[in-house]
Amino acid sequence: MPDPKTPVPGPPQSLWRRFRASSFSKNFRDSARKIRYGRKGRRFVDYYQSRKLRTNESALKHGLMISVGLVLMLIGLILWPVPIVPGFLVGIPGFVIICSRSKLAARLFDALERFFHRLRRSIFGRSRNPKKRRPAGKTVDS
């Protein structure tokens, strides 16, 4: 009879489940959420500052990660017009890696976001889905 304290091996996990449970996957998802739900026009600088407070990495790793981000961005730009492989799936993680390591890049991405937000507002109006307004003098009952 097996010892009750020893764990019984369960069914083998799939590769996807092991990846989803890994710390890399969790950190990537948390980073993506911080950037996605951050304040518009400040999300990249805020992410850079929060990441800088959390980690203390060597200059070699810092330079290597910026290089990886640049390569991913370049591959994403090359693949952008190719219909089979969407280039943004490769390019966006490159942007995230670079903005997490470089304050200048984070400021640049925030400035670009503000510019495109203002451009969108000037072309399409104040909001993408404005609230329906009732004509003056009309109530819900009439």
Residue 77 belongs to some domain of the structure: yes
Mean pLDDT score, 96-105: 86
- Model's pTM, two decimal places? 0.60
Residue 106 or 20, more confident: 106
Q: Copy the structure tokens of residue 89.
A: 């799936």
- Structural domain for 70, as ranges: 36-124
The answer to whether 31 touches 46, Cβ cutoff 8 Å, is no
Residue 68 belongs to some domain of the structure: yes
- Residue 84: how many CA atoms within 13 Å on its side-chain side? 0
Question: What is the pLDDT confidence band of residue 15, given thresholds at 50, 70 and 90?
Answer: low
Q: Of 48, 84, 80, which is closest to residue 66 (Cα–Cα)? A: 48
At 111 the pLDDT is 92
Question: What is the pLDDT confidence band of residue 74, given thresholds at 50, 70 and 90?
Answer: very high
Residue 98 belongs to some domain of the structure: yes
Residue 57 belongs to some domain of the structure: yes
Residue 20 belongs to some domain of the structure: no
Residue 58 belongs to some domain of the structure: yes
Residue 75 belongs to some domain of the structure: yes
Q: How far apart are CA 121 and CA 116, in angstroms?
A: 8
Residue 2 has pLDDT above 60, yes or no: no
Q: What's the number of domains the chain is made of?
A: 1
Give the torsion through C-alpha atoms of 21, 27, 29, 33, to 10 deg: 150
Mean pLDDT score, 46-66: 81
